[in-house]
């Protein structure tokens, strides 16, 4: 998603491996701002991600499948953050830059796959509780994780082997577009099945709905611009939109950290209680005095 410079020709051709150059080729300001944003994301996201991986690992024995997917999601975020460090370091050789870019988007695509797994797992808890109770095992979760890690290769390998650019874009668009209706279906199906799930405690229901809403909002805000960029040819020529879509997707590791917060029991209730307290305090302050 940027300009790839050939050593044998001066012609600049669009390639999904250098989007940042497209966004900032006419000015150093966008590139400088992008570097600052990237450094902030690394400084905040790297220690918190490592801490979250350690904390979620302790939940594996309790909740089984869900923490396994979240741990892999956080590992994919760790891959992205490490590649961001390489991007900020600006390696001298173009080949090294390209390798780290491919690894970065490999991590991004893997994170999308694990977001789908988390949303599906939460949906099954509500919609098919009995089936899910007897089918969920660590072994099945690990097999699913292996498949998710392998799927991004269907995009990375064609790009690495310099397959036609339009073909690479089609694969990119399909990969990122397919999860979007799934997230909507999981959320709608969960809300529809909530009334029938009488055996699930109310706080668990709120936690599941909160996770699904968070996943859908995260995907809409962070990934939808990239989907539009890959599908609409006019959007690929708009440098501002290109710069925006490349920058906001870097916030994905920070957004994924909230999944760990909502996985913890009582987190949603505390958040709702805080919001209710703020509302009560506001009403009390605004109440007219006699």
Residue 106 exposed, middle or buried by CB count within 10 Å (0-12, 13-18, 19+) = buried
Could you report the per-residue pLDDT of 2-40, keeping only the tens digit for each? Answer: 333 333 333 333 344 445 444 544 444 556 778 888 899
Q: Which CATH superfamily is domain 2-286 in?
A: Rhodopsin 7-helix transmembrane proteins (1.20.1070.10)
| pLDDT level of residue 47 (50, 70, 90 thresholds) | very high
Whole-model pTM: value is 0.79
CA separation for the pair 5, 227 (Å, rounded): 24
95 vs 74 pLDDT, higher one = 74
What are the extents of the domains in the chain?
A: 2-286
Question: pLDDT tens-digit profile of 127-177?
Answer: 887 777 777 777 888 899 999 999 888 777 776 666 666 777 777 788 888
Q: What is the pLDDT of residues 198-254, one digit of tens each?
A: 777 777 788 888 888 989 998 999 998 888 887 887 777 777 788 788 889 999 999
Residues 6 or more apart in contact with residue 138 via CB below 8 angstroms = 60, 64, 65, 68
Mean pLDDT of 175-188: 92
Give Cα 283 to chain centroid, integer Å.
37
Identify the three-state secondary structure at position 280.
helix
Q: What is the DSSP string of 171-238?
A: HHHHHHHTHHHHHHHHHHHHHHHTTT-TTS-HHHHHHHHHHHHHHHHHHHHHTHHHHHHHH-HHHHH-
């Amino acid at each position: 998603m940027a300009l790839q410079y050939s050593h044998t020709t001066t012609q600049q051709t669009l390639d999904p491996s250098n989007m940042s150059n497209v966004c900032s080729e006419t000015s150093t300001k966008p590139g400088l701002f992008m570097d600052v944003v990237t450094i902030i994301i690394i400084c905040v996201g790297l220690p918190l991600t490592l801490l979250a991986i350690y904390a979620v690992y302790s939940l594996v024995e309790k909740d089984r499948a869900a923490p396994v997917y979240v741990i892999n999601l956080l590992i994919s975020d760790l891959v992205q953050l490490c590649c961001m460090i390489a991007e900020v370091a600006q390696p001298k050789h173009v080949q090294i830059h390209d390798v780290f870019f491919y690894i970065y988007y490999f991590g991004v695509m893997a994170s999308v796959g694990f977001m789908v797994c988390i949303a599906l797992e939460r949906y099954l808890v509500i919609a098919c509780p009995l089936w899910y109770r007897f089918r969920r095992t660590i072994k099945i979760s690990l097999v699913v994780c292996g498949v998710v890690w392998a799927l991004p290769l269907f995009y990375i390998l064609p790009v690495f082997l310099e397959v036609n650019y339009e073909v690479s874009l089609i694969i990119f668009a399909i990969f990122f577009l397919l999860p979007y209706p799934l997230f909507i279906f999981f959320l709608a199906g969960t809300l529809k099945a909530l009334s029938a799930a009488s055996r699930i405690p109310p706080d668990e229901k709120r936690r599941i709905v909160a996770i699904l809403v968070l996943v859908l909002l995260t995907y809409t805000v962070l990934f939808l611009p990239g989907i539009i960029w890959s599908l609409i040819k006019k959007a690929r020529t708009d440098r501002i939109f290109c710069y925006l879509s490349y920058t906001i997707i870097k916030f994905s590791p920070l957004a994924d950290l909230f999944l760990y917060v909502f996985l913890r029991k009582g987190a949603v209730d505390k958040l709702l209680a805080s919001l209710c307290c703020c509302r009560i305090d506001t009403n009390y302050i605004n109440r007219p005095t006699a």
